[in-house]
Amino acid sequence: MSANNHPTRDFHGSRPPKSDQSNPSSRFGFEHFDLGPALQRGIAALGFEEPRPIQTQALPAALAGRDVLGLAQTGTGKTAAFALPILQRILAAGPQPGPRALVVAPTRELAAQISAEIAALAKFTKIKVATVFGGVSVFRQRKALSAKPEIVVACPGRLLDLMGQGIVRLNRIETLILDEADHMFDMGFLPDIRRIIAALPAERQNLLFSATMPKEIRGLADRILRDPKVVDVEHSKPLETIEHALYPVESGRKVALLERILAADETASAIVFTRTKHRARRLAQQLERSGHRAVALQGNMSQAARDRAMDGFRKRRFDVLVATDIAARGIDVQGVSHVVNFDMPNTTDAYTHRIGRTGRSNNPGKAYTFVTAEDRCLVFQVEQRLGATIPRRQVDGIESIPFPLGRSDDRGSQPLGRPQGRPQGRSSPGNGKSNGRPRSRRARYRRTSTTGC
Ligand code: AMP
């Protein structure tokens, strides 16, 4: 899938960009898109000065009514890339019965975030947005739907419930947006998505966004998109502003290691990912006891408690959010300085999603992963995806464990990110004190790295 990096290539009759490439002071701003003055005001009020690459590439096609397949991580600005075209379309056609646009998202947090961004962009219009997701009382959602919103942002389950009760009808939808389609697939939502799509008018515009493209999502895209404009903003590559590091450690020493890192690094705001809900809860309690402003975010919590945790973390009442993978995608919190994989994620995609919570909006970010011996295969896969070796590090006073070097050993690839710790040479597989280690042992690790995974 090739990216079209040329912002002007398929403008589809929209006003041509006026940017003067010969004049270095000229910039390509939002005024070059066919967006009404109310939307331009909304964009300015949000402080957006220049479109992000995904916006430059997707907006012209979407504004011209084309389907779009957007391959983009969260944090790239994809919400505005689909929100602006739907808002412009609604404004251009004038008042009509709705809802006229449907955004489907996998998690409540993402749905709430999308609604907030659409509402902010639409601040100077009369367009109304209703947000629909489970886990909370249906009362306010019914009220929002009865106010005749032009746009509905929904998670699949609650939307189907409300459709079943005749509270929402989708027969006037002109634009469908499926956001985080890969995540919806992971969560088992594809059958729900098919049922929702079956209730929509056949004639409509479709915008599908996904950070990764498993074959099931490719199949869905093939079925619903017509001659889509494909926009690929290096979806599987981590942001370059992120510094990655691996900390090989015994399971029982992870808490001590985390404490040391939180104390030593200037950790403004950290998300710590654990494998299970139980571990997230317990670790947040442990950190709290040792004086951190920590809070858990995991699926066993009530929606109100999840909202309190997210809100408190956004507003910096908490410095550490200990979360399961429900916080791995879509969530946009400014200024997250660290993502710590307390437990290695289950897949390379999950690694990409988790670390995408930091290094956003060109800010520097750190992605630290605690690894035990059993994580080595997944580390190799992640390094293969990244095309680079993740530097191994250790913290004084916390014993490291031997950990194979992976890709750099076989291919001499460059370490990833901007490591600040000591460089890890060939003789130092992960703990920086292996100089006296017998060669045969290292050779064994290397064999494992190429044959065992
Ligand atoms: P998203 O990938 O849609 O979650 O966007 C990530 C963050 O970037 C959000 O906080 C947006 O408000 C912000 N954003 C989107 N577009 C722009 C832009 N053109 N300039 C500055 N910030 C933006």
CA separation for the pair 302, 306 (Å, rounded): 6
Mean pLDDT of the chain: 81
242-448 folds as Rossmann fold (3.40.50)
Tokens describing residue 49: 């000065």
Testing ligand 1's pocket by substitution, the residue of 73, 361, 363 carrying the most ligand atoms inside 8 A of its CB is 361
Q: How many CB atoms lie within 10 A of CB 289?
A: 9
pLDDT for 265 beyond 80: no
295 CB-near residues (< 8 Å, 6+ apart): 284, 308, 309, 312, 313, 318, 320, 321, 322
Residue nearest to atom 21 of ligand 1 (CA): 48
CA separation for the pair 185, 182 (Å, rounded): 5
CA separation for the pair 42, 40 (Å, rounded): 5
Spatial contact of 408 and 415, defined as CB atoms under 8 Å apart? yes
Q: How far is the CA of 423 from the centre of ligand 1 (A)?
A: 35
Q: What is the pLDDT of residue 27?
A: 57
Tell me if domain 24-233 and domain 242-448 are identical in fold.
yes
Q: How far is the CA of 75 from the centre of ligand 1 (A)?
A: 6
Choose among 174, 172, 118, 130: nearest CA to 155.
130
Where along the chain do its domains lie? Answer: 24-233, 242-448
Helices (H), 225-343: 254-264, 277-289, 303-314
Q: What is the pLDDT of residue 431?
A: 35
332 C-beta closer than 6 A to ligand 1:
yes
28 C-beta closer than 6 A to ligand 1:
no
- The CB-side HSE value for 33 (13 A sphere, CA atoms) comes to 29
Spatial contact of 41 and 124, defined as CB atoms under 8 Å apart? yes
Q: What is the pLDDT of residue 1?
A: 30
162 CB-near residues (< 8 Å, 6+ apart): 132, 138, 141, 142, 145, 168
Q: What is the DSSP string of 39-102?
A: HHHHHHHTT--S--HHHHHHHHHHHTT--EEEE--TTSSHHHHHHHHHHHHHHHH-S-SS--EE
- The average pLDDT across 406-414 equals 42
CA separation for the pair 235, 435 (Å, rounded): 39
Choose among 255, 256, 261: nearest CA to 366.
261
Testing ligand 1's pocket by substitution, the residue of 28, 49, 117, 235 carrying the most ligand atoms inside 8 A of its CB is 117
Q: How far is the CA of 55 from the centre of ligand 1 (A)?
A: 10
Q: At how many degrees (to 10) do helices 376-386 and 439-451 cross?
A: 70
Closest ligand 1 atom to residue 46 Cα is 12
Q: Is 144 helix (H, G, I), strand (E, B) or coil?
A: helix
Q: How far is the CA of 79 from the centre of ligand 1 (A)?
A: 7
Q: How far is the CA of 46 from the centre of ligand 1 (A)?
A: 9
Testing ligand 1's pocket by substitution, the residue of 40, 43, 48 carrying the most ligand atoms inside 8 A of its CB is 48
Spatial contact of 11 and 33, defined as CB atoms under 8 Å apart? no
CA separation for the pair 226, 210 (Å, rounded): 17
Q: What is the DSSP letter of 19?
A: -
Q: How far is the CA of 172 from the centre of ligand 1 (A)?
A: 29
- The average pLDDT across 127-135 equals 95
76 C-beta closer than 6 A to ligand 1:
yes
Residue nearest to atom 22 of ligand 1 (CA): 48
What CATH number is given for 24-233 in this structure?
3.40.50.300
- Residue bearing tokens 């890969």: 182
CA separation for the pair 443, 117 (Å, rounded): 53
Q: How far is the CA of 119 from the centre of ligand 1 (A)?
A: 14
**β-pair partners for 273:** 323, 341
74 C-beta closer than 6 A to ligand 1:
yes
Tell me the percentage of the chain whose pLDDT exceeds 90. Answer: 54
- Minimum mean pLDDT among 15-24, 102-111, 134-143: which range? 15-24
98 C-beta closer than 6 A to ligand 1:
no
pLDDT tens for residues 356-406?
788 766 677 899 999 998 898 889 888 877 777 888 999 988 988 888 765
53 C-beta closer than 6 A to ligand 1:
no
What's the gap between Cα 17 and its chain centre? 30
Closest ligand 1 atom to residue 51 Cα is 19
Confidence of residue 196 (pLDDT cuts 50, 70, 90): very high
Q: What is the pLDDT of residue 330?
A: 59
Q: How far is the CA of 80 from the centre of ligand 1 (A)?
A: 7
Choose among 73, 54, 114: nearest CA to 355.
73
pLDDT tens for residues 58-103?
999 999 999 999 998 777 889 999 999 999 999 999 889 989 999 9
